[in-house]
Structure 1
Amino acid sequence: MTDVITSDKVATVSLADADGNMDKLAQDLGNSFVEYGFAIVKDHGIPQDLIDRAYAMAEQYFALPEEVKKKYHVEGGGGARGYTPFGVETAKGANAYDLKEFYHVGRDLPEGHRFRDHMDDNVWPEEIEGFKETFQELYAEFDKAGAKLLSAVERFLGIEEGFLVDAIEDGNSVMRMLHYPPIPAQPGEHIRAGAHGDINAITLLLGAEEAGLQLLTREGKWLDVKPGPGELAINIGDMLDRLTNGYLPSTQHRVINPAPERASASRYSMPFFLHFRSDFEIKALPSCVPEGEEPKYPPITADEYLQQRLREIKLK
């Protein structure tokens, strides 16, 4: 059985440094990514009152009757928009489904946009006043914070300024409202989220201060990830792993079931999965491929990779 350890070695960085000390932000963030695939970010600039409002609305939605929530399930949509019921998503290679339900909000694109066939329209629950406006605003704030983080990653990698930020413009990024209900008396092999790597470029996660999030270290030990209140847990996704030829690793992580005294409590969190635009070719950066070696992965577009992974986790 893999050991669990607790450590403060995952770097906590201030996103405020993006406006005055980008070199420090880039090095601290990049070094933590290289070692753990994770970092913790404070001073991210997302207004706390907006976060509080969004959490309150997410709780209202998940408290609705099942038949009402399921009105917003998009059949055949791969979970890209609207509601995905409890017990559907399953980690790649796992048999046990995750103990969670979630709701997805994506990018709004105008009619005639070249990526309209890759991104469905959002669906908005009519039962909760202000839901659409709140999550459109929060989505935009996450998008902005993600661009600042990628600017720091560009600096750390020594690549052209704006390369990664341009790659996420009109990307298929998704905001997820997650609800982990109280744990059943006998959950068996099921846990709140099985060990997995994220599909996207980077993930910005609100709500990880509630215990349960763990990453798997290079040494094969599970490490608790514990941001402070209001801080973000940030991790590298598979797309950025492929782009950097594994230099910035997409670390396996999970959400374990709570201690018995917390088993009757729900857990909520909000990850923002920052994606490259659909036609962006994910091809190993030359600077990340050692001389005389071939890249670990063949080139693939972001949309092709997304569709492949959605099938693997049983959303398609």
Structure 2
Amino acid sequence: MSRQVPTLDIRRWDGDREAFVAELGAAYREFGFCCISGHGIPADLVDAAYAVFQRFFALPDETKRRYHVPGSGGARGYTPFGVETAKDSAYPDLKEFWHIGREIPRDSRYATVMPPNLWPDEVPGFREHGYGLYQALDQLGARVLRALALHIDLPEDFFVGRTDCGNSILRPLHYPPITAPDIPNVRAGAHEDINLITLLVGASAEGLEVLTREGHWLPITTEGDAIVVNIGDMLQRLTNHVYPSTTHRVVNPANANARRSRYSVPFFLHPNPDVLLDVLPSCVDADHPSRYPVPITAHDYLLERLREIKLA
């Protein structure tokens, strides 16, 4: 395989399923990353969501901070600039962000760990377009998980009942212009994602890099409608590292783009909070014993990781 994260057309799922599943699985085993095209998410929806997110981040700092909920781990609403810090990093990331979560009935058994969303009154259309994009990426993620399940000899619908109330998050991100020279911080320090899979829409701006097996940083940008989809630590754990959760980062541009804002919108697809992250038997054999003999619930694992990155 060439040293480039491949782009695969998910429409092949309907007409060339066996080959698509094989190529998708091979991409994830190699890189932990793949780009997905042909997904059918309207460009108008993506553009409208980006527009309302940019309008929010342009608000005065005092206004944005009204939507910050201290002690919540950033679960919903606004997290200010310079808070999140990659694990083992001495410097906070150069970013601010908003979290949109799943809308669930307030009498749901998950209501205590999945709080209601906040919506900024100052930005008309924020809820409509933001949650519209959330739902579209949630549906696409479910399609990707069906293919990944087949690749490791699980039933196609294995993840359906385990993610239908998942504590998934849409995170509009703003990396402000970098004005100070020679700062030690980067826009996003080297890290792995916590969840099952991440879908990143709008990765056309430079900065995203993936660490290859050989220890080289490989830049990723997309063209057309392609969405970057990568494996998170929860799926790595479930599959006993068959699907690796690959280290990645967002570096500071070495050109004039450093002095421009950068926006991106990842969707972190999570399991239901009470799903037990226990290594799948199909991913264990004599040559590959379980790396995680003690299972943990998705919610407890999430809390552990949020503490590591200083959000909780």
Which TM-score band (shorter chain)? over 0.9
- Superposed CA deviations along residues 86-116 of structure 1, whole A, max 9, x for unmatched, are 0000001111100000001000110210100
Q: Which residue of 2 aligns with 1:314?
A: 310
Q: Which residue of 2 aligns with 1:4?
A: none
Q: Which residue of 2 aligns with 1:42?
A: 37
Secondary structure of the structure 2 residue equivalent to 1:311: helix
- Contact 2:195/2:233 (8 A) holds in 1: yes
Q: Which residue of 2 aligns with 1:257?
A: 252
Matched, 1:156 2:168: no
The worse-fitting range, judged by mean Cα deviation, of 154-163 and 80-89 is: 154-163
Q: Structure 1 residues 187, 181: CA separation in 2 closer, same or farther (over 3 Å shift)?
A: farther
- Contact 1:244/1:284 (8 A) holds in 2: yes
1:99-138 aligned at under 5 Å gives the runs: 99-138=94-133
Equivalents in 2 of 1:278, 1:91: separation in Å? 23
Residue 166 of structure 1 and its aligned partner are, at CA, apart by 2.1
Q: Which residue of 2 aligns with 1:303?
A: 299
- Contact 2:147/2:156 (8 A) holds in 1: no
Equivalents in 1 of 2:204, 2:133: separation in Å? 19
Unaligned runs of 5+ in 2: none
Which of the residues 10, 16, 19 maps onto 1:15? 10
Q: Which amino acid aligns with 1:250?
A: S
Secondary structure of the structure 2 residue equivalent to 1:303: helix
Matched, 1:284 2:284: no
Q: Which residue of 1 aligns with 2:160?
A: 165
Q: Which residue of 1 aligns with 2:171?
A: 176
Equivalents in 2 of 1:163, 1:251: separation in Å? 23
Equivalents in 2 of 1:184, 1:96: separation in Å? 17
Secondary structure of the structure 1 residue equivalent to 2:11: helix
Which of the residues 225, 229, 234 maps onto 1:230? 225
Identity of aligned residues (%): 50
1:206-221 aligned at under 5 Å gives the runs: 206-221=201-216
Q: Which residue of 2 aligns with 1:144?
A: 139
Q: Which amino acid aligns with 1:263?
A: A
Q: Which amino acid aligns with 2:125?
A: G
Equivalents in 2 of 1:293, 1:47: separation in Å? 42
- Superposed CA deviations along residues 66-96 of structure 1, whole A, max 9, x for unmatched, are 0001111111110111000000000011111
The worse-fitting range, judged by mean Cα deviation, of 119-128 and 19-28 is: 19-28
Residue 293 of structure 1 and its aligned partner are, at CA, apart by 5.4
Residue 187 of structure 1 and its aligned partner are, at CA, apart by 4.7
Equivalents in 2 of 1:253, 1:112: separation in Å? 38
* Structural RMSD (CA): 1.2
Q: Which amino acid aligns with 2:45?
A: L
- Contact 2:7/2:226 (8 A) holds in 1: no
Equivalents in 1 of 2:221, 2:3: separation in Å? 8
Equivalents in 2 of 1:286, 1:187: separation in Å? 49
Q: Which residue of 1 aligns with 2:240?
A: 245
Matched, 1:76 2:71: yes
Equivalents in 2 of 1:142, 1:231: separation in Å? 12
Normalising by structure 2, we get a TM-score of 0.97
Q: Structure 1 residues 238, 205: CA separation in 2 closer, same or farther (over 3 Å shift)?
A: same
Q: Which amino acid aligns with 1:170?
A: C
Which of the residues 56, 64, 84 maps onto 2:51? 56
Normalising by structure 1, we get a TM-score of 0.95
- Superposed CA deviations along residues 20-71 of structure 1, whole A, max 9, x for unmatched, are 3222221111101000100011111111101000011111000000000111
